[in-house]
Structure 1
């Protein structure tokens, strides 16, 4: 199942190997252009589809269906793109049978699904268009991964025993501080029902390695537990103190309320810039330190005082600003690339939906 990614069968190095008779091998051997369909999985994942185009000897698992396209009538790439469309996948869910933790789409119901088939040459042209969109998405994805790796390397080199950041730190005086000497945990207790706050941010609303808070709940739209009484304001840093290996650090751009298990943090900006602190808290060294001082096994957590022995060296404020600007600039480009991918995906889905009508 994990070998079907974005409509294509891939070898991620985790495929199982087996010994077969020559007869069985001929029966189950995959050929270029075969379409693999996941007929049994969770309700969310059942129906995942991908085209096989790997070189070498491969077979398919029993929970997959292999579909062979009549090359005189249809193009396998065109059919695969249609089957991976949101509209077709939604249509498949209506014929899936549910069991405990699983769903199944049997071959009979799959064969009943209707797809439009324009002339073969037109199918190939459409498939080529979709492939060009996929290629563009892959290129954007590669750029995004490269920039994220660069950002991570830069921040890890800065938050190290021997800090460096290109040439910016050469000849600069660095001062060593303990974490709690240059930050403070804010505990503004409020009654969220009467204070006038609209947004509630829970732990699940904080994404790993993403400073932006993209989802939230609203006051009055569900149960609000007693732990949700901590006010945060735009500009504050939110840090998930549970399971810190998840690297949940967010830079709020609105006011809201969170639980007391989410730390609201502010840098003492006469010593450390808030814009740099958020990057420091996503460094590998800080993350490993927080994991090391965590308590508990099922749901490990940290106490604020546990962070005090984390030490780091920082330059003057002007240099900090230069470093923060570089790091923020990289992430701004990453965000633009994400939006490009989303736009390309939306374009493809719109075209597919028009074809499926």
Structure 2
């Protein structure tokens, strides 16, 4: 069987806009904003408060089980939803809508599973009206046109119990990923700048530059001494994929990453970046937009990119790329961009090439790279596990919310909710 579906407005007792008050460093009452809605939950930031007494704010105090809906924001963020679980007193901002549900008919945790799901978020965004960079969701439209499946209350609770078990597994794995990423970043900084060394090498004797110090037996060289700029134009070849550079993922296939074309139709003046070459967005490198091309024989990047390649006799690509992606190098890129005479805020090759980097012997570079690759592999395996768990949950929701799969409801709950 399949469940009957009803407009969500039929199970909402009331809805309410929040307060339009600025945060106040002297305030004592936390106010929830969009950034506090994460992964279907409302999390209170005690550092963002308003100057209002609890007595005056009574009508806006959140209650356990309230659902907050982001009614106006960018197209990507409009419709973001979270459930408040009574974690301290707080009010909510004016661009959020509080939904108070009819608890005799629906379970709030069941409803938030639907609203915060990929399908639920996609449906909400379809109901929003869009301007150039802003989207707005009319609460009345949402209430009348967002439908939810409505099994008996006892079965709703049983269904959300199953889904929450998957949420727990996902959250646990994501926390483990975050911890390993933090450790990996710390390990990278220690090894790439010689603060920790492999095989009990000496770390006591160092020499310093303005931005960092390195072991005295390492060289401190300009990038231009170990790499050179490459500038090959595409011409008329339309068969090469266009690549984009991202802060965290480096170079990516643009169409696959953005799921739409964000580059020019005319790529004749685009630059070719071959396998084993580096590229950075000349006007965004201070954000960390630098990548290493190792997944296609050749790709294209916008003319605003700078392409370069290393000298393998002097520096290992893996070590070099990891060094370029550190926060320390990003800070150096930012400082050099700000001090550049280029009024467009770019860091061109002649200035980029003058940046100093620490350079251990080649054998040590390879050892450092191997250790950091092992740490990254652990993270990638966990990320793959999270993707699998999320896919399993999507499949479960499809079966459970349509009634194709039924969940056993304890007899006392069936009797209580009959």
**TM class by shorter-chain length?**
0.7 to 0.9
Show the 5 A alignment for 1:328-339. 328-339=373-384
Partners of 1:43 and 1:49 lie apart in 2 by 14
Partners of 1:260 and 1:168 lie apart in 2 by 44
In structure 1, the residue matched to 2:225 is: 181
Show the 5 A alignment for 1:63-102. 63-99=95-131, 101-102=133-134
1:49 alignment partner, one of 73, 76, 81:
81
2:240 alignment partner, one of 174, 186, 198:
198
Secondary structure at the counterpart of residue 270 of structure 1: coil
Map Cα deviations across residues 70-115 of structure 1 (whole Å, 9 max, x no partner): 3232211001111122333333334334456443333332332331
1:301 alignment partner, one of 338, 341, 346:
346
In structure 1, the residue matched to 2:43 is: 10
In structure 2, the residue matched to 1:141 is: 174
In structure 2, the residue matched to 1:238 is: 279
What TM-score does the superposition give when structure 2 sets the normalisation length?
0.74
Partners of 2:101 and 2:180 lie apart in 1 by 40
Greater percentage in strand: 2
Partners of 2:252 and 2:364 lie apart in 1 by 27
Cα deviation, residue 307, structure 1: 2.8
Partners of 1:268 and 1:313 lie apart in 2 by 15
Partners of 1:58 and 1:183 lie apart in 2 by 55
Partners of 1:296 and 1:115 lie apart in 2 by 58
Secondary structure at the counterpart of residue 101 of structure 2: coil
Cα deviation, residue 13, structure 1: 4.4
Cα deviation, residue 5, structure 1: 1.0
Q: 1:61 aligned to 2:110?
A: no
Q: 1:263 aligned to 2:294?
A: no
What TM-score does the superposition give when structure 1 sets the normalisation length?
0.86
Work out whether residues 70 and 81 of structure 2, in 8 Å CA contact, stay in contact via their aligned partners in 1: yes
Q: 1:37 aligned to 2:69?
A: yes
RMSD: 2.8
Q: 1:114 aligned to 2:147?
A: yes
Partners of 1:283 and 1:214 lie apart in 2 by 22
Cα deviation, residue 8, structure 1: 0.6
Which is further off, 108-117 or 317-326? 108-117
Partners of 2:142 and 2:350 lie apart in 1 by 58
Change (3 A) 1:77 1:225: same
Change (3 A) 1:169 1:126: same
Secondary structure at the counterpart of residue 363 of structure 2: helix
Q: 1:249 aligned to 2:290?
A: yes
- Structure 1, unaligned stretches of length 5 or more? none
Partners of 1:297 and 1:188 lie apart in 2 by 23
Work out whether residues 183 and 267 of structure 1, in 8 Å CA contact, stay in contact via their aligned partners in 2: yes
Q: Tell me how many residue pairs correspond in the alignment.
A: 347
Partners of 2:62 and 2:372 lie apart in 1 by 46
In structure 2, the residue matched to 1:314 is: 359
Map Cα deviations across residues 141-199 of structure 1 (whole Å, 9 max, x no partner): 22222222223223323444xx23343461494233222111122222341x23x6421
Q: 1:164 aligned to 2:209?
A: no
Change (3 A) 1:320 1:97: closer
Partners of 2:133 and 2:359 lie apart in 1 by 51
